[in-house]
Amino acid sequence: MGACEVGLPTVVPADGLPARVTIWEVGARDGLQNEQSVVPVDVKIEFLDRLAAAGLSILEATSFVHPKWVPQLADAEDLLAALSRVDGVRYPVLVPNDRGLDRALAAGVRDIAIFGSATETFANKNLNRSLDEQFSMFEPVVTRARAEGLDVRAYVSMCFGDPWEGSVEPKQVAAVGKRLMDMGCSQLSLGDTIGVATPGQVEAVIAAVALDGVPVDAVAVHFHDTYGQALSNTLAALRLGVTTVDSSAGGLGGCPYAESATGNLATEDLVWMLDGLGVETGVDLDKLADTSAWMAERLGRPSPSRVVRALRG
């Protein structure tokens, strides 16, 4: 360690923040699905095992989207068959439709996530459906999953801006979120898919969602760091009472349409802030940074996480 490196932040709590935050770790899914290369299944399994050992309790493991669309996660069945689940850790998987749910049930999955769109254009491009048609696609999936005793999370993409439509109305995000929750989803993850949000907008969208009757403890935030805004947006959300934050170990992932864009909020950068604020996460930052440094070596490029680069660069 050089003279300018330190291992841990000084702990100074701030008013108006939750005592504990649950991190929904998406690196193995949202991170790896955006990699150019396909990561071998045994590396993915070691990655998940190491993340669990670092104290993360929710590990989004893979996706049952058709392999034609996400070849990086075509090994979903193999991965889930070989994975040793750690007690107390949840391993949700992404499920787009009935066929995906069949595959998830056959693989013994207990937690799934569906992914809706807040905008017409992205519903078209990502789901090949209109904004309205997405609900008829998701409804039977959620109903059957609930009947099988599964927990279902609903992602909503493009909540803060859309690359084709520009601005997105908070009311529209709230309306989409409400319909997905009414189907029986237990949690709503508000996604800033292109990373453009700023804190006032975060407050406005969460307020609109709450006004439509979704309680704030059922809301998660999912920020991308494309414009460097992810952590300050997270802070704004925590001040409103949000207690679940999506992030990606090492900042893995990104936008498949823009090579230079950085990906999800890095779990390490989030944990540094929460550790400093005395907000409990259960995560061991040291082990986590080791894991991301190890994964960066496997991927052959440096981690975009600033904490990982500062501690392990």
Q: Is 277 in the site for a second copy (CB under 8 A)?
A: yes
| Residue of the chain from 129, 198, 243, 282 that contacts a second copy (CB under 8 A) | 198
Question: Pattern 209-228, binding to a second copy, x per CB under 8 A?
Answer: ----------------xxxx
Residues between 26 and 45 with contacts to a second copy, criterion CB under 8 A: none
| Residue of the chain from 163, 184, 241, 282 that contacts a second copy (CB under 8 A) | 163
Q: Which is nearer to a second copy, 119 or 187 (CB)?
A: 119
Beta bridge partners of 191: 222
Look up tokens 């991927």; give the residue.
Answer: 299
Angle, CA 64 vertex, CA 246 and CA 77 arms, to 5°: 110
Count the residues of the shown chain that bind a second copy, applying the rule CB under 8 A: 60
Q: Is 164 in the site for a second copy (CB under 8 A)?
A: yes
In the complex, the smallest distance separating the C-beta of residue 143 from a second copy, rounded to whole angstroms, is: 33
Cα–Cα distance measured from residue 164 to residue 157, given in angstroms and rounded to the nearest whole number: 13
Residues between 282 and 301 with contacts to a second copy, criterion CB under 8 A: none
Cα–Cα distance measured from residue 85 to residue 45, given in angstroms and rounded to the nearest whole number: 10
| Residue of the chain from 177, 195, 250, 253 that contacts a second copy (CB under 8 A) | 195
Q: Which is nearer to a second copy, 281 or 305 (CB)?
A: 305
In the complex, the smallest distance separating the C-beta of residue 30 from a second copy, rounded to whole angstroms, is: 15
Q: Is 261 in the site for a second copy (CB under 8 A)?
A: yes
Q: How many CB atoms lie within 10 A of CB 88?
A: 8
Q: Could you tell me how many helices (H) and strands (E) the chain has, helices first?
A: 11, 9
Q: Going by C-beta distance under 8 Å and a sequence separation of 6 or more, which residues neighbour residue 69? A: none
| Catalytic residue of the set 4, 159, 185, 255 | 255
Look up tokens 């997105």; give the residue.
Answer: 168
Could you give the angle at which helices 41-53 and 285-299 cross, rounded to 10 degrees? 170
Cα–Cα distance measured from residue 81 to residue 95, given in angstroms and rounded to the nearest whole number: 17
Q: Which is nearer to a second copy, 13 or 215 (CB)?
A: 13
Beta bridge partners of 190: 156, 221
| Residue of the chain from 272, 281, 291, 292 that contacts a second copy (CB under 8 A) | 272
Q: Taking the mean position of all CA atoms in its chain, how far away is CA 136?
A: 24
Based on the residue annotation, tell me whether 4 is a catalytic residue of this protein: no
Could you give the angle at which helices 285-299 and 267-276 cross, rounded to 10 degrees? 160
In the complex, the smallest distance separating the C-beta of residue 136 from a second copy, rounded to whole angstroms, is: 27
CB of 22 closer than 8 Å to CB of 58: yes
| Residue of the chain from 10, 36, 87, 300 that contacts a second copy (CB under 8 A) | 10
H or E stretch covering 140: helix 133-147
| Residue of the chain from 150, 273, 283, 295 that contacts a second copy (CB under 8 A) | 273
Interaction site with a second copy (CB under 8 A): 2-6, 9-14, 160-161, 163-164, 166-168, 194-201, 203-204, 225-229, 231-232, 234-236, 255-262, 266, 269, 272-273, 275-278, 305-307, 309-310, 313
Give the catalytic positions in this structure: 255
